[in-house]
Amino acid sequence: MSYTPSVLVSCPNLQENLDRIFTIDAASFYREPIPFTEYLMSPINRNGISAMVSTGGSKIRTATLTYQPRILPSEVQSDVTAYCSATTERGNTSEDYSIDTTKNLFLDQQFDVEKLKSSCEDNEMWFQEQIMKLVAAMDTAVNAKNATQAAALLGGWSSDVSGVPFVSVDGSDNLVVQTLQPSSAFAPFPATMQSVQSALEASNFGQAALFGGFQLDNYLKLIESGCCANYGLDIADIQARFGMASVRDRNVASALGGNEYAMAVSNGALQIIDYNRWTGLFAAQDSNQSYGTIQSPATGLRYDLVVKHDCGVIDVTLTATTKVVSLPADMYQTGDHLEGVKGLARIKVTNV
């Protein structure tokens, strides 16, 4: 072997994970913020409708919920003399809730085991990271689907809202509000929060959350003490202090039509129905394949996960079968000031 003083031996490539070198929080870096779905799956909103439709044993049902529209005050009679018998018979109605298992979201990825041998990363750690990224992408897709479905279920506002100062309801059932003083680009309009609260109260929303674009979200954050971040908010705490919470969700804003829109959601008025195929007796695992579920750390939703190893090739598939449902449109009968109210309605910011 010869020695050449003027030539240096090249250093081999040093391979390291970018996330670690730049100290990136991989969980947040690869996952889009999805506060709308996080809210839908939270304890303050969740109820048992999903369990009624999907039993958890890879079986589905149709849940029929019965209800009776409330009695109108106009039906109350005055100054009657014969009050020992009744002549009015009132029935009830129902709403069916089910899920179409063919309406799903699907994501796949294939790995060539032969190519992994040249990687510097630990195979097990690398594979887990790939699964994490698949789940993160699915979370974002599910949130967008939830937002689109919710936007198609919007209800209206009480007719009493016409009396709330500084707001109006337009022909598309938007609660029209202003966040800036007239002809100002910076000065906040002082009564917006109170007006929105009054509209929610008049429409029997109870505690509610607002999801949508930048305009209303930014305004409310100016006046919510202790609120300084868009995500990771304690929604229950904000609701307790102000009667509502506001969070920006880009998928909801897009589904509603832009950053000037927001969606007011009463706790419990929207629910997610989900279905998993690979649960119970249908979940299986052997040396070549695995059928089961994986839980999203962000929402708690479970996705069907299939991992198959076939002669040096690993196939991974992820499937989400979900559906957003709402309260019935005829909860309140004609003549009720709440006719058309569903605990889910749109707000539009219009500044002049």
Give the tens place of pLDDT for each residue, 37-95: 999 999 999 887 888 888 767 778 888 888 888 898 998 989 888 878 888 888 888 99
Q: How far apart are the first and last CA of the chain?
A: 82
Banded model confidence at residue 285, pLDDT cuts 50, 70, 90: confident
**Residue-level pLDDT at 62:** 87
Check the CA dihedral 218-223-228-234 and report its sign. Answer: negative
Angle formed at CA 35 by CA 62 and CA 338, multiple of 5 degrees: 60
What stretches of the chain adopt beta strand conformation (E)? 63-67, 93-97, 105-112, 168-169, 174-177, 208-212, 244-248, 261-266, 270-275, 284-285, 289-295, 302-310, 313-326, 344-349
- Is 143 buried (19+), middle (13-18) or exposed (0-12) by CB count in 10 A? buried
Q: Which residues of 160-197 are buried (b: 16+ CB within 10 A; e: fewer)?
A: ebeebeebebeeeebbbbbbbeeeeeeebbeebbebbb
Banded model confidence at residue 231, pLDDT cuts 50, 70, 90: very low
**Residue-level pLDDT at 313:** 87
pLDDT (tens digit, 9 = 90+) per residue, 175-185?
999 988 888 77
Question: Mean pLDDT throughout 198-218?
Answer: 93
Q: How far apart are CA 160 and CA 127, in angstroms?
A: 57
Q: How far apart are CA 59 and CA 53, in angstroms?
A: 8
Q: For residue 102, how many other CB atoms are within 10 A of its CB? A: 6
pLDDT (tens digit, 9 = 90+) per residue, 313-330?
889 999 999 999 999 999
pLDDT over 50 at 281, yes or no: yes
Question: Mean pLDDT throughout 27-37?
Answer: 82
pLDDT over 50 at 225, yes or no: no
**Residue-level pLDDT at 90:** 84
Per DSSP bridges, beta strands 174-177 and 168-169 are: antiparallel
How many helices (H) does the chain have, and how many strands (E)?
10, 14
Residue 38: closest CA among 324, 299, 323: 299
Helix (H, G, I), strand (E, B) or coil at 261: strand
- Helix residue ranges per DSSP H, 203-260: 214-223, 235-242, 250-256
- What is the pTM for the complete model shown? 0.84
Better-predicted residue by pLDDT, 43 or 122: 43
Q: How far apart are CA 224 and CA 211, in angstroms?
A: 15
**Residue-level pLDDT at 12:** 56
Residue 211: closest CA among 287, 305, 129, 146: 146
